[in-house]
Structure 1
Amino acid sequence: MAHTYIPLEQYKRKWIFNHKDLPVTDDDKALVKPLDQKSSMEVWNKWISNKSSRAEQFAKGDWAAKGDVWSELQDWQSAWDSEDDALPEMMTSHFDWPDETIVYFCYEKYLVIETRWDVFVRNWKCFLFFDDGPLLISAKKKQAAFFHQSGEYQIGNRG
């Protein structure tokens, strides 16, 4: 599936990658690729849900709506608030992905960012400036993460 991208400079949430307190290198910015609406929809429909457009709408039949897919809630907010830039420990151990693995950070059906795993790991705090139920997935891997506004997240495996 060939994707169409929006230049980061034209992305409506670009400020999250230009925040003075969480600098993103130019090399990493070049690998942060917001998808246009059509490509976002294709990713969401194929790997998340073809029924729901946002996490709070997940319905019966959506793999992400199945309770046994997800771990118990873990805290991400304290790691986000800390001076340490490391991913929360549970995520680090769950995602044993090579650096170059293509990942999708899916805010909702029409708002998806493609990047590489190593870029996400270095800049995860920027992605979570918006924490209204995004999911982290990879097309080629089963592991997933689901971030909640409560400052908690769950890890699991896509069905």
Structure 2
Amino acid sequence: MADFTHLDQKGNLFMVDVGEKPYTERIAIAKAEVVFPEEVYPKVLSQDIPKGDFLACAKVAGILAAKKTSELIPLCHPLPITKVDLQFKFIPEKFSIEIEGMVKTVGQTGVEMEALTAVSIAALTIYDMCKSLDKRIKITNVRLVYKTGGKSGEVVLEKSV
């Protein structure tokens, strides 16, 4: 069990002590995609959605989610987040919106979970605001694409970053 960072020798779960780790700047970038049925995508592109500005709402939801990650993920440390940014890119050939979320802190542990939570909640918010158009909307491909800081240094998981 010693190979698992959140389990003791008896297999009991615990929160890792990061108190001895050095403070470093830490950045994480995650992405998610929201895919729409082809026939409703023109409404999405024109942002003609009955509930209003779904992208602004999704951006605020993603930012709030990043700030509350430690309340949602049981063993996640609360962090002093210094920046959260979400960007939305329409990809017409896939009938989708790609969400990219960046989270930054200066701390003793990384912000990967915060970035993943931000894009996940932004995607759920887009779904919620657009579901009246069609229930077949899909949330896909939630993933970490970049991180830097701490012991592992820079990790590039997608070249697009």
TM tier, shorter chain? under 0.3
Q: Which has the larger radius of gyration?
A: 2
Compare relative contact order (CA 8 Å, sep 6+) and give the higher one, 1 or 2.
Answer: 2
